[in-house]
Amino acid sequence: MENILSNLNLAINSANEQKAIECLKTIISKPGDFIIIEVGPFKKLLKIPNKSLQTVVAESIAELCTIAENRKVFTDEEVIRDLMHFIESGSDDLIFSTVRALGNICYDNEQGSELINKLGIDSILEVLRSDSKRDNDSLTTKVSGLLVNLLNTHDDLPKAALNGGILPIVKTLLIKYKHQIEKNRVVITYLLSILNLLTDYLDDKEYIFSEDLAKLVIDIFKETEIPDIGVLCLEIFHPLLERDDIKLVIAKEGVCELLCELIEKYRDKVNDDDGRSVLRMACDFIVLTSTEDACMNLLYNEGKGKTYQNMLTWLNSDDADLLSTGILAIGNFARNDFHCIQMVNDGIANNLIELLKKYNESTDINDVKVQHALLSTLKNLVIPKENKAKVLKEDIIEVMYPMLKQNRFMVVFKLLGTYRMVIDGQPEAAFNLLLRKDFIERLVYWCYNSDHLGVRGKVPQIFCSLVKNSHSSSPFSTFLSIPDSTKCIVEMISSNRGVMQNESFLALCILAVGLSNNEKHAGEEMERFYKTLCDSDIGKNLNFVMNKYGEKWDQHTMENCLTMLENLVKSSQIVVHLMENNISECLEKLKNNGNAKDILTRVDSIIQILTK
């Protein structure tokens, strides 16, 4: 080894280019025998204006840099600058060896990539741009591989590549090479990898992944039988599925149908983590595509769409990923009344409820995904008024009831949302639930013992919905007997959402009127209700919400608040409590609201009661 390097130095010092080439070829033949300590000799060789010699020098550097120790030594700005100049030489052989050298220097080497970034990559992109002038694809393949390496190891290079016009370059090359995918599999893999590495840097203005480029990648996905290329196509699209235009291209081009076929073909061969990861990505692809309205209609196709039909078959799958995908996709199709009504009439809700029976008592984390999907989809299906009574007859409330034991709040949140939707406009269901103490107690527990903001917000909304929809004051006594049940509603007054403020005003008003009009609840029970309101700090919550939002309230919200107050100020203890919390001053401020001109008399009347 030392003799070869000594001979190389002698050849350099004596300007014997032929002898230098012979020494370099020896190094190339056995690169593993050489650990380079100092790159001075190679710097001198790179400066000699002889393309044949330069080609061999570049090739020797490429071979030496397959060894990590040598890679560090050659991570030198002068070496890399001279190599970058060779890319503009016009000699395919020299460029090829140079690209190999740069690629090996920069392999998993951020410092090397930083030096290239500093010098700029325009010359590298130009080699790709000139592909049509060459007879073979070897140089394009090698440069594409170098770009993948660079984009992988430096955060600034993707932007530089986009600024240099990489997207139209890759598009042109894919058009050329996609006609023989098997023959061109390496270059196509590199080109798709470049796109995959760029997706996080794309936007809707400066760097756009066009529909034409999307169709091109879809064509490759449809035609390839090479698994790695198919997976790359999916990986490219996955982050782009936030864009509705891309979803629509995918739906129109039949990608979801093809994915269903591929999943059915390979599902029994998924036996490792990588395979499972790809299966899940394909499943996510179908679910995400169906979230866009036009895609939903296209894939559903009045219940005859192939993708929709596939999702129905997956309801019978024993694979948890396929099962949850089928349920979630059906939930996405159930986003308009026509689809929902048709599905319920076709027995889909019944099938889902039967499925839920298998999972409704499980607290196993492995079942969370399916439970979450079932509840989400059932919630969508019961949105149309026509469906609620039908689904109630299929015993949805009782089937969901064991899930009150749940302690996974992402499932609890969906459970609460489904309960709330199914009881809307259903007096009997609301009445019966309001009478079930264990139901109310569990919801109160979740309201005050969950770190899930959605759960804590949903509980008082359900209570308000139960009070509103029960159409009877008979269950109110049971509801009020549960500690903190009323407090949940009172605290929702201070929500930053107008809808929730209105719900709480209305529910408290209904409770007050219902209790006062029912002889069974008169007297002591009314006084307990008023005391509960005071203990729940209704005054404090009203003070907060009126001071923060009162001057911006619409007339509807003001009227609901006043109606509630008009019913509550019949109690002397409420009056005292409200005065202690400065509600009369809040009402005075409310008069400054431009929407208050038609209710000023009502405001003054309440102020008069509070201040007399």
| H, E, C per residue of 470-513 | CCCCCCHHHHHHCCCHHHHHHHHHHCCCHHHHHHHHHHHHHHHH
- Is the pLDDT score of 203 beyond 90? no
User: What pLDDT is recorded for position 14?
Assistant: 84
3-state secondary structure of 62: helix
- Look at residue 605 and tell me if it is in a domain: no
Q: Which two tokens stand for residue 395?
A: 């015993």
CB 196 within 8 A of CB 237: no
* CA pair distance 220, 231, nearest whole angstrom: 11
Residue 114 domain-assigned?
yes
Checking if the pLDDT of 345 tops 90, the result is yes
Contact 201, 159 (CB under 8 A): yes
Q: What integer pLDDT is reported at residue 519 of this predicted model?
A: 65
Q: Is pLDDT above 60 for 521? A: no
CA 334/CA 344 separation, integer angstroms: 10
* Tally of domains in the chain: 2
Averaged pLDDT for residues 151-176: 93
Tokens in use for 390? 């039908």
Confidence of residue 145 (pLDDT cuts 50, 70, 90): very high
Question: Going by C-beta distance under 8 Å and a sequence separation of 6 or more, which residues neighbour residue 81?
Answer: 119
Q: What is the largest CA-CA distance in the chain?
A: 117
pLDDT in tens, 362-402: 989 989 999 999 999 999 999 999 999 999 999 999 999 99
Q: How far is 354 from 315, CA to CA, in rounded Å?
A: 11
- For range 93-108, the mean pLDDT: 93
On the CB side of 387, CA atoms within 13 Å amount to 26
Asked if residue 397 belongs to a domain, the reply is yes
Q: What's the confidence (pLDDT) of residue 132?
A: 83
Answer whether residue 581 is part of any domain. Answer: no
Q: Which residues contact 97 (CB under 8 A, 6 or more apart)?
A: 55, 56, 58, 59, 62
pLDDT band at residue 204, thresholds of 50, 70 and 90? low
H or E element in which residue 400 lies: helix 396-400
Does pLDDT of 195 surpass 80?
A: yes
522 pLDDT band, cuts 50/70/90, is low
Q: Which pair of tokens denotes residue 319?
A: 């694979």
Q: Which of the listed residues 104, 119, 134 is the one where a domain comes to its end?
A: 119
In this structure, is residue 233 part of a structural domain?
Answer: no
**Residue in the structure block whose two tokens are 């929709």:** 308
Q: Please check the confidence at residue 433 and state whether its pLDDT lies above 70.
A: yes
Task: With respect to residue 220, please indicate whether it lies within any of the assigned structural domains.
Answer: no
Report if residue 470 sits inside a domain.
no
Residue owning tokens 């019961």? 382
Which residue, of 93, 119, 145, is where some domain finishes? 119
Q: State how far the Cα of 464 lies from the Cα of 507, in Å rounded to an integer.
A: 5
C-alpha–C-alpha distance, residues 147 and 596, integer Å: 66
CA distance from start to end of the chain? 106
Domain boundary among 119, 136, 158: 119
Contact between 214 and 246 under an 8 Å Cβ cutoff? The reply is: yes
- Cα gap 542→547, rounded to integer Å: 8
Residue 2 pLDDT class (50, 70, 90 cuts): low
Q: Are 216 and 178 in contact (CB under 8 A)?
A: yes
Calculate mean pLDDT across residues 326-352.
97
What pLDDT does 1 receive?
61
Contact 454, 411 (CB under 8 A): no
Q: How far is CA 107 from the centre of its chain?
A: 32
Per-residue CA distances from 11 to 22, 23, 28, 464, 606 (Å): 10, 9, 17, 92, 105
Backbone angles phi, psi at 574, to 5 degrees: -70, -40
Q: Band of the pLDDT at 284, cuts 50, 70, 90?
A: very high
pLDDT at position 12: 84
Identify the pLDDT of residue 59.
95
Residue burial 309-329, b: 16+ Cβ < 10 Å; e: rest: ebbbebbeeebebbbbbbbbb
**C-alpha pair distances (Å), 325 with each of 232, 279, 284, 532:** 21, 11, 7, 46
Note down the domain range covering 52: 1-119
CA atoms within 13 A on the CB side of 103: 21
- Tokens representing 385? 């008024």
402 falls within a domain: yes
What mean pLDDT value characterizes the chain? 93
Residue 487 CA, chain-centre distance (Å), reads 35
Task: List the CATH number of the domain containing 74.
Answer: 1.25.10.10
pLDDT digits (tens, 9 = 90+) for 290-329: 999 999 999 999 999 999 999 999 999 999 999 999 999 9
pLDDT band of residue 36 (cuts 50, 70, 90) is confident
Q: What is the pLDDT of residue 13?
A: 82
pLDDT > 70 in the chain, percent: 99
pLDDT of 141 strictly over 60: yes
